Chains A and B, each alone.
Chain A
Amino acid sequence: MNRREFVKKAGLTAGISLASPYIMKNGLFARGAMSSAEHVVLVMFAGGVRQQESVLQRYLTESQGLTGSIYEGNIMYNLLNGQAPQDKIVYGLDPSVGPQGSLPIPAILSSSIQSQGILFPEVTAAGTGHYSGLVTLLTGSRSVTQGLRNRPRNPTIFEYARKHANLGATDVWMVGNRIGNSLPLLNYSDHPDYGVEYGANFMAPDITFGPEGEEHIKNAKSYHPEEDLGPANTMQNFLNRSFNRTGSDFGGVRNTEDEKYQLRLFFEEMFAKKASNTISHPPVVSNNDMRAVGYACEVLKWFKPKVTVVNLDSVDGCHANFTGYLRSLHRADHAVGHLWNTIQTQIPEMTDNTCLIVCPEHGRNLEPNSVLDENDWSAYDHSDLNATRIFSMVVGPGIDQNLVVGSESNPIGDISDIVLTMAEVLGVKSQVIQSGLTSSSQSLLDRI
């Protein structure tokens, strides 16, 4: 072999080895065959959802002992195909005259997300706890042994995206509906190779722009970025150099000065929009899940993030109130419909350029507990095998439409696939797999 041949063959070999992670078994190039989106939005839906009332559309027949098709039907018609139940409607709005909740909220989307994308109706959750489920959704790792008040041990999708796709802090966002259950700890892990340096911006709008924000940051001065903040930063840098020590975790995620300036403007805008009642909330706003989605839409409009995660959890009221659970489920569907509609109609940079993934962190029990609500309906906890049954949905450009993968008798997909699905959209799947820190080596799209 002469030198020219050697160089040619070496180059070919290197090219094949670089491309091999993207070549599927059937010879197609995986990245070209899947989503061409540049943005990905994950909705962690919505605090423990039973398969029976969601994807199986059994409404009251597999929970409250009612029989007959009039008590079956779909109460999530922005997400799923299917007709609504005909009787005992309690999940809607309260009419001025008539039973409470008897007016279903009108659909936002003209065609459901199921018909626009792929439904995985039977997916396996990592466990039956909220925090372990959320951690697995965000890290792709089932090895969750830490409890509340601890950051994830393995890197989150935010960290993978920032490190391997070279993204800034304002390119990755987590919008929480509250600050309980250690939710604010999920924006980065304490993994030594990733961590705070690659963390996401986080906000819980009900607090940030709620009474606490109104009282303590709404009136923040608008300092001039050069005339005021320039000298302030110079002085602060001198003081910090003299001290040369930083806090362990207090500071949280660090944005650049440019990003901080944008965040200040965003905060000002949010308080102004709140005062004028023009936050991009869903048409019906009746719980903090829906307000969180409204502010998430504002984040999307302002920052056009590459990665956005929104947490919803009002459904968890099912521990004590089944009627309230149905109402929350119906509203969570309404909120996700609004989110997808906003992306497709109000944010040109993200329209036809965004992949949306919806996945509960776990399900709920097959058998009820002993708590009865105002309709004498039984409530449900989450601790048995039924609570490890969840569904997932993926929609976006380049993704198959109206496709159902798996069934009740043929589960396909695992909750730990979600991180790799997001990583695939972002073009960092091979780096995430190579980290060796995820439980799955497949995205949901590989399971088709």
Chain B
Amino acid sequence: MQIFNPIYLLTGILSILLFTSSCQKDDPIVYEVNPQDILSPTAGKIKEKSPEQFVAVLHANLFGTPISVNDQVEVERLLRSTGDKRLTWELIVSSYMNDPNVQLPDNLIIQQDLDGFIVETYSRFYFRPPSQIELEWWRNYLTNNPNVSTELVYLAFATSDEYFFY
């Protein structure tokens, strides 16, 4: 009986080599990029504005001037006087859109400088730039809907959820 069969011996040695080599870990590759937490561009906005705050901001956004204290108090009372405050807010915004002093960009800007309009609108209402996904959506939407006016875009921003937070 042959105890050390050369084929078995060779197979055993190769298996041990293969096993030991497969257990070796690679050294981590360092790309020299600083570690970053990935957050939504809106993640920092966790506090709600008070009615006085957001009407003051709205007035500045639409008219470029501060609102009077009297108007601020009146809007706060008006919002308390209705159950659907979003609807009342929409009526307030659309009422301001009827004011001859409202400062709206010309609709031509959407054709002439679409990206600039989008970036400026985000900055005006949200105090931040749009993310790449947001930019793409707006490019696509405003290109495919040429009848949408700057007024309607402002209306959408001024009545959106993010506008009520800071």
Tell me the chain A residues, 192-234 only, with Cβ under 8 Å from chain B.
199-204, 207-208, 211-213, 215-221, 223, 227-228, 231-234
Proximity string of chain B (78-113) to chain A, C-beta cutoff 8 Å, 1 when within and 0 when not: 101111111110111011011100000000000000
The answer to whether A231 and B148 touch across the interface, beta carbons within 8 angstroms, is yes
The answer to whether A179 and B77 touch across the interface, beta carbons within 8 angstroms, is yes
Partner pick for A240 among B94, B153, B160, CB 8 A cutoff: B160
Q: Is B61 located at the chain interface by the 8 A CB criterion?
A: no
Least Cβ–Cβ distance between B24 and chain A, in angstroms? 45
Partner pick for B82 among A233, A247, A252, CB 8 A cutoff: A252
Partner pick for A201 among B42, B83, B162, CB 8 A cutoff: B83
The answer to whether B91 and A207 touch across the interface, beta carbons within 8 angstroms, is no
The answer to whether A212 and B77 touch across the interface, beta carbons within 8 angstroms, is yes
| A residues in contact with B48, CB < 8 Å | 247-248, 250
The answer to whether A263 and B161 touch across the interface, beta carbons within 8 angstroms, is no
Least Cβ–Cβ distance between B122 and chain A, in angstroms? 10
Q: In the complex the two chains form, what is the Cα distance from A167 to B123 in whole Å? A: 41
| B residues in contact with A184, CB < 8 Å | 80-81, 83
Q: In the complex the two chains form, what is the Cα distance from A219 to B88 in whole Å? A: 12
Q: Is A264 located at the chain interface by the 8 A CB criterion?
A: yes
The answer to whether B160 and A243 touch across the interface, beta carbons within 8 angstroms, is yes
Q: In the complex the two chains form, what is the Cα distance from A184 to B165 in whole Å? A: 23
Least Cβ–Cβ distance between A101 and chain B, in angstroms? 31
Known: A179-B77, A239-B156, A247-B164. A264 touches B91 (CB 8 A): yes
The answer to whether B91 and A267 touch across the interface, beta carbons within 8 angstroms, is yes
Q: Is B141 located at the chain interface by the 8 A CB criterion?
A: yes
Pick from A176, A232, A247 the residue with the most CB of B within 10 Å. Answer: A232
| A residues in contact with B156, CB < 8 Å | 232-233, 235-236, 239
Interface size of B as a range: 35 or more
Q: In the complex the two chains form, what is the Cα distance from A254 to B94 in whole Å? A: 18
Pick from A169, A184, A212, A219 the residue with the most CB of B within 10 Å. Answer: A212
Q: Is A401 located at the chain interface by the 8 A CB criterion?
A: no
- Dominant secondary structure of chain B at its interface with chain A: helix
Known: A239-B162, A250-B164, A254-B86. A232 touches B152 (CB 8 A): yes
The answer to whether A218 and B134 touch across the interface, beta carbons within 8 angstroms, is no
The answer to whether A245 and B87 touch across the interface, beta carbons within 8 angstroms, is no
The answer to whether B84 and A228 touch across the interface, beta carbons within 8 angstroms, is no
Partner pick for B78 among A176, A212, A219, A251, CB 8 A cutoff: A212
Q: In the complex the two chains form, what is the Cα distance from A253 to B79 in whole Å? A: 12
Interface size of A as a range: 35 or more
The answer to whether A174 and B77 touch across the interface, beta carbons within 8 angstroms, is no
Q: In the complex the two chains form, what is the Cα distance from A184 to B153 in whole Å? A: 31
What residue in chain A is nearest B88 (Cβ atoms)?
A217
Q: Is A370 located at the chain interface by the 8 A CB criterion?
A: no
Q: Is A238 located at the chain interface by the 8 A CB criterion?
A: yes
Partner pick for A245 among B81, B90, B161, CB 8 A cutoff: B161
Q: Is A255 located at the chain interface by the 8 A CB criterion?
A: yes
Q: In the complex the two chains form, what is the Cα distance from A179 to B81 in whole Å? A: 6
The answer to whether A208 and B95 touch across the interface, beta carbons within 8 angstroms, is no
Q: Is A277 located at the chain interface by the 8 A CB criterion?
A: no
| A residues in contact with B82, CB < 8 Å | 201-204, 208, 252
Partner pick for A252 among B86, B91, B145, CB 8 A cutoff: B86
Q: In the complex the two chains form, what is the Cα distance from A279 to B160 in whole Å? A: 34
The answer to whether A221 and B98 touch across the interface, beta carbons within 8 angstroms, is yes
Q: In the complex the two chains form, what is the Cα distance from A174 to B83 in whole Å? A: 9
| A residues in contact with B85, CB < 8 Å | 250-252
Q: Contact residues of A with B, CB < 8 Å? A: 169, 174, 176, 179, 184, 187, 199-204, 207-208, 211-213, 215-221, 223, 227-228, 231-236, 238-240, 242-243, 245-248, 250-255, 260, 263-264, 267
4 additional contacts, CB 8 Å, given A212-B75, A245-B162, A247-B164? A179-B81, A228-B152, A243-B165, A264-B87
Q: List 22 A-B contacts (CB under 8 A).
A: A169-B84, A204-B82, A216-B92, A220-B98, A231-B148, A232-B155, A232-B159, A235-B157, A236-B160, A238-B141, A239-B161, A239-B162, A240-B162, A243-B162, A245-B45, A245-B161, A247-B161, A250-B51, A250-B164, A252-B82, A252-B83, A252-B85
